[in-house]
Structures are given as C-alpha cells and as structure tokens.
A and B are shown apart, each in its own frame.
Chain A
Amino acid sequence: MHSTMTNFSLSDEELVKRCQKELPHTTAAFETLVSRHTQRVYRLVYQVVHNKEEAEDLTQEVFLRVYRGLRGFDHQAAFTTWLYRIATNCALDALEKAQRRPRQLISLERARSRSRSQEQEEDGLARLASPMPQPDELALRNELRECINRVLRRLDRGQAQVLLLRDFEDTSYDEMTRILEIGLSSVKMRVHRARLAFQQYFGELCGKMSQVLAQVQRKRTEGERS
C-alpha cells in the first residue's frame, strides 16, 4: 500500500526502472503505470471498436504487451511514446481484423432512404446529435462509425495513427511530437494531410461531409432550443 502511494509521485520513466527491477515479484510500479494511463488507452481503442468488451480486451492486450516488453525497454524514447504506439497499433490491427468480418450493419444509403421516407427533409445522419437515440437512430450512428472506420482503413497506417491521436483522442501537438518523435511542424503537416485524405475518402465512401455536418449541427441547435 505504502509503495503504491509512493509510486504515484514517480515519473513514468522512474516507474519503468522500478518495474525492470521488481517484476514479476512486485507489481506495484506496474499497477501505477496502468492506473495512470488506462483511461486514455481505453478511450483511444474504444474510438475504433465502439464496444466496451472489445475495448477492454484490447486495452488489456496493450498493457500485456507493455508488461512483456518492459524488461527490454531501453529508455531511448519516453514511455508514453512507446505506450501510445502500442495502443494505436493495437487499435488499427483491430480495425483490420474487423474488415475481414462480414458486415452486418445497414447500408448508409438504405438508412438515408428509410429516414427520408419517414421525415422528408431529414437526413438520417443528422440524428447523430440526438442525446437519446431511438433504435433506428442508433443504427444510423453505428453506420456512420462504421463508415468512419472504413475511411480509416483506406488511409495509410501513419495517417490513421495521427488522426486517432489528434482528432479521435484530442492529443495535443506537443504530446504528439513526443509520441511520434518528430518536430512540431512535421506533426502538424502530417495531421493536415491525413485530414485531407480522410475528407477525400469520406466523400467517396460515405457521402458529402458538408451535408452530414450541416445536419448534425442543425439537429444540435434544435436540441439545445428544446
């Protein structure tokens, strides 16, 4: 208990050194690393799998890889650099595996036409902003997420990685320079190019983004008024 309390004041790198001395017999330092980073790793992988159980399994997989690799960690890079590389790779591996599974969701076009038949002017994706989605709306949300994942799969892994970090997980550019081990202007340019590629593929696979966004924002405004 005392050692766990003491560990909280240590940096990640100090904790890694402690792990390298103490594992597998004492896990207190490792537990501190886990509790410090679990939430972000979990959120990051959840953005891709959209399922709590799968997200937990993947988060466990990330920390298992960390556990197995700690002995060989050479402190050349920051611990977070290593950790978030493992996490984004696990998330993107899961994305590729999901691609090989048969699709069960409704198609975006069918979702749209069904939605239009119910409410003529209403684009189905606009319902994304609804705080309490109906089953039909949930299917549409899922469809958009699946569509976003299809776009992510079309990107090269480096582009998908920077988008996951910046636009899915809202990682700061400064932190991204440490994770990616490149300069600030290079990070910004990578993010910019990745967004352009995302926009292009979204247009090809999911429809016009400006229309989707306009509907999302309109719905949100309506929700705020009511």
Chain B
Amino acid sequence: MNCEELQQLLPDLVDGSLPPDVQAEAELALLDCPQCRRELEMVRQVRTLLLAIQAERADLQVPAGFEARLLARIHVEHTALDFFDLSSRALVQWLIEMMNLLGLLLDPGAYSRPA
C-alpha cells in the first residue's frame, strides 16, 4: 500500500472501521509515511475533541410542547397570509372601482353613449 492509497483510508482508520486485514496492512504502511501519520494524528484529535463535546449533550431533549408551539406558529403565519391574500384582493377590487369612478367623473357621457 503506497501513501496515496493510505491517505484514502485515513477516515476509516480514525473510525476503526476497516476490516482487520486491511487495518493491519494500513498500519504497516503508516510506518513508511510520516505525512500520513501526522495527518492521522491531527484528524483523530479533532474527532476525539468534538465527540467529547457531543457526549456532554447526550441526554439533550427537545423541550416539551415543541410540536404544539410549531403548529401554532404555522397557524399564525397561515392566518396572516390568508388575511394578506384577502386584503390584496379587496385592494384590487377597490382600485378597479375607483378607476371606473374616475373615468365616469372625467367623461360622464361615456356610459350613456351608444356603443
């Protein structure tokens, strides 16, 4: 196994998830690749540190009533959207009526003239 092949296996070496024969071969190859050894040590440290932080929160639970609060928020958003939708439709209707009214004021004869 050369250094390039070994590099590909470093994530599995960190996890210890290689089959025993490949693991043994990789460990032998590590002896000849100082760069791989250094990288392996660095990434192992990161994994270990972050797992230690993660372990502190192993019993972390979503606060009770979360789903009810989420659904209530969705309901509020929906109601607001419905209201906005209704408002915008009412506004368009009002604008049309205003334009008709303005047209009537500017040209009162338009509606009485035959087509």
Q: Is the CB of B42 within 8 A of A195?
A: yes
- Asked if A170 is an interface residue, CB under 8 A from chain B, the answer is yes
- Asked if B51 is an interface residue, CB under 8 A from chain A, the answer is yes
Q: Is the CB of A27 within 8 A of B71?
A: yes
- Asked if A82 is an interface residue, CB under 8 A from chain B, the answer is no
Other-chain residue from B43, B48, B62, B77 in contact with A38 (beta carbon distance below 8 A): B62
Q: Is the CB of B62 within 8 A of A199?
A: no
Instruction: Give the size of the chain A interface in residues (CB under 8 angstroms).
Output: 45
- Asked if B115 is an interface residue, CB under 8 A from chain A, the answer is no
Q: Is the CB of A191 within 8 A of B11?
A: yes
The binding surface of chain A is classed by DSSP as helix
Contact status of A199 and B43, CB under 8 A, knowing A38-B67, A170-B54: yes
B interface residue count range (under 10 / 10 to 19 / 20 to 34 / 35 or more)? 20 to 34
Interface string of A2-43 (1 = CB under 8 A from B): 000000000000000000000010010001001100110011
Other-chain residue from B11, B48, B70, B71 in contact with A192 (beta carbon distance below 8 A): B11
Other-chain residue from B8, B48, B60, B67 in contact with A34 (beta carbon distance below 8 A): B67
Q: Which residue of B lies closest to A164 (CB)?
A: B50
Q: Is the CB of A213 within 8 A of B42?
A: no
Contacts of B56 in A (CB 8 A): 128, 141
Contact status of A31 and B67, CB under 8 A, knowing A24-B78, A43-B60: yes
Other-chain residue from A39, A196, A202 in contact with B61 (beta carbon distance below 8 A): A39
Contact status of A196 and B42, CB under 8 A, knowing A34-B67, A46-B60, A52-B63: yes
Contact status of A216 and B70, CB under 8 A, knowing A43-B60, A196-B39: no
Contacts of B54 in A (CB 8 A): 47, 167-170
- Pick 11 A–B contacts, CB within 8 A, sort by A: A38-B62, A46-B60, A52-B63, A56-B62, A56-B69, A60-B69, A129-B52, A167-B50, A189-B8, A199-B42, A199-B45
